[in-house]
Structure 1
Amino acid sequence: MFSFTSYPYPKSESLKEILGSSLVAGILIYLFLIIFQPFGTENFHHPYKLLLLFPYCIIFGGAFFLTNLFTSKFNNWNIGSELLKVIIILIIGSVLSYFYNSLFLSHVPLSIGNYFYMLLYSLAIGIPISAIYVLSRYIYLKNIHENIAMKVSEQLADAKPVQQNHLLKVSSANTELLIDESNFLCVQSMENYCTFYYLEDNQLKKHIIRISLANVLNQIETKSVQKCHRSYIVNLGKVKSLKGNAQGYKLHLSGFEVEIPVSRSFIATIIPKLQQQKK
């Protein structure tokens, strides 16, 4: 079980995705409250009961949003990290919910004992549901990405090599690098430097230049040379196979042993382009 929690897990990468998932989480909490009415809400009678329960949607949706926004900065995210994040969200949500319930709904004195009861109730309900969601999402994404990767890899194995006749030119300060597109493999960004990988007489070569990845992309982007990750630009014409997992995809290039990751935000553009140019 503990080894399974160390498996990589796809976390939200964009503000739009975080905002959307937070909205869905808040709405689901609200629906759960009005359908099952936990925390004694079944004994709460008010003509505007549904309206008064709506702040719980805002509370848990806000906790979900802020926690996801904070954790989006972390790397090497895994299932254990995701489950810990869920517990933190439940704790934050239970604290805010307790204050809202005590001060505005039930009007009872604040006490550690009453809050502890709500915390246990929140964890007892939230953790099993969240664990099922996290594991189900992991398995679903893993199966989807593995199946697509297998199909694309079969297409790549049967396809003819892509003809690439462009000369890629990179200029930065007093440095200039010329690479034939047919020999270019990828660029990896490391802080303020970029490492260019390419073939020369069938031998792997690399060249480091002080330049941003965005500047590199502006100079060398073609139909095949595309950004696939915040740290990588890759030559799709050199991709020989595709590997899929729950986080997304990794590209295997001819003559290059390192796997190139494809960020989830680039999947919608990279995979179709890879399929189109290999037909």
Structure 2
Amino acid sequence: MLWLKDDLESRKLVIYRAVMFSFITLFVLFIFQPFGTSNDSEPYKLLRLSGYGLVTFCALLLSGAIEIALLKINFNDKLKHLTIIPFTYLLITALFNHGYFVVAVLGSWHWQNQLLFVGYIFCIGVFPLIFLLLVNRHVKNLIPSSAADENQTRLEETALETISLKGENKNDEVKVAHHHILFIKSADNYCEITIFDGDKIVQSLLRTSLTGLLRQLPHNTSVIKCHRSYAINLQSVKHYSGNAGGLQLSLNESNITIPVSRTYVKTIKDALLLAPKTC
């Protein structure tokens, strides 16, 4: 998982990353003793260096919490992932480490040293990150992908196909491209289909049950039931929050949130891992 979500798995991943990069920091400092530490002849040098591992751990915990909190703010994902989140990690880790350096060694704060620590943190962190990305890429290449590619091709073909959804009333019909459906909400004997056609969000009403409407969708549909009264298009989900007792799904094209009842939590989580991203 490259980017965090607002769920228990991501919170566990924050702790795992913090522990892993703290040990990497200590390994680099203990073995290679860069940035002039090899010339340090003061007693308890290794104990002092250990402090950088601890503050790195705390800094990454805080950075992970901020990344999860940023999910609630709607702005460009590319900007967030390529600039805001990386610089948040870099800046907070540098501030924490420089703060420890001031307390343990220097005794006073200097902004020139702070900028220097930004460079230090970048140099220490860039190599394990590159290594992890290369390993991840290698593992993906080893995994047979023909079945996954075939399944995604079928989903893409289904998404482009215009389907007809019919209600119980005569001439009660909605024609829509599969990928334009955001979600379906049922109330009494009607279903409200929320559609995003690329320009605006519109609602269409059909007199039918949610179960009956879902039966009209293609077999390999990405629109699945998530609640007694809701069905969601997995391709429209931006992120989710909540726990095993229930989730809230946030959509790409609107500020609307869709509930997931306890019965469907595992199904939705598993399905989101396999759902292709929208184009």
Higher relative contact order (CA 8 A, sep 6+): 1
The whole-number CA distance in structure 1 between the counterparts of 2:118 and 2:59 is 15
Q: CA deviation at 1:171?
A: 9.7
Confirm whether residue 110 of structure 1 aligns to residue 108 of structure 2: yes
Q: CA deviation at 1:26?
A: 1.2
Distance change >3 Å, CA 80–CA 196, structure 1 → 2: closer
Decide which moves more: 66-75 or 174-183. Answer: 174-183
Partner of 1:214: 260
- The residue type paired with residue 212 of structure 2 is I
The whole-number CA distance in structure 2 between the counterparts of 1:250 and 1:149 is 18
Whether the 8 Å CA contact 1:95–1:119 is kept in 2: the answer is no
The whole-number CA distance in structure 2 between the counterparts of 1:181 and 1:22 is 43
Gaps of 5+ in 2: 72-76, 155-183, 190-208, 234-255
Aligned length: 192
Q: CA deviation at 1:173?
A: 7.1
- Correspondence for 2:45 among 49, 59, 82: 49
Counterpart of 2:260 in 1: which secondary structure? helix
Gaps of 5+ in 1: 1-8, 103-107, 160-169, 198-209, 235-247, 253-257, 260-279
Partner of 1:79: 82
- The residue type paired with residue 61 of structure 2 is F
Identity %: 15
Q: CA deviation at 1:66?
A: 0.4
- The residue type paired with residue 226 of structure 1 is T
Partner of 1:64: 60
Partner of 1:127: 122
Confirm whether residue 89 of structure 1 aligns to residue 92 of structure 2: yes
The whole-number CA distance in structure 1 between the counterparts of 2:213 and 2:144 is 28
After superposition, what is the alpha-carbon deviation per residue over 1:53-80, rounded to whole angstroms, capped at 9, x for unaligned?
2221111111111012111233424233
Counterpart of 1:110 in 2: which secondary structure? coil
Counterpart of 1:63 in 2: which secondary structure? helix
Counterpart of 2:276 in 1: which secondary structure? strand
- The residue type paired with residue 22 of structure 2 is G
Decide which moves more: 92-101 or 59-68. Answer: 92-101
The whole-number CA distance in structure 2 between the counterparts of 1:147 and 1:250 is 21
Whether the 8 Å CA contact 2:94–2:121 is kept in 1: the answer is no
Distance change >3 Å, CA 226–CA 116, structure 1 → 2: same
Q: How does 1:222-233 map to 2 (within 5 A)?
A: 226-228=267-269
The whole-number CA distance in structure 2 between the counterparts of 1:188 and 1:142 is 34
Whether the 8 Å CA contact 2:26–2:49 is kept in 1: the answer is yes
State the superposition RMSD in angstroms: 4.3
Whether the 8 Å CA contact 1:172–1:211 is kept in 2: the answer is no
- The residue type paired with residue 124 of structure 1 is G
Q: How does 1:92-241 map to 2 (within 5 A)?
A: 92-102=95-105, 108-112=106-110, 116-117=112-113, 119-120=115-116, 122-138=117-133, 140-141=135-136, 144-145=139-140, 148=143, 150-153=145-148, 156=151, 174=188, 177-179=210-212, 183-184=216-217, 185=221, 186-187=223-224, 194-196=230-232, 213-215=259-261, 218=263, 226-228=267-269
Q: CA deviation at 1:88?
A: 1.1
After superposition, what is the alpha-carbon deviation per residue over 1:171-226, rounded to whole angstroms, capped at 9, x for unaligned?
9774662237654531498xxx94556xxxxxxxxxxxx995322x62x68xxx92
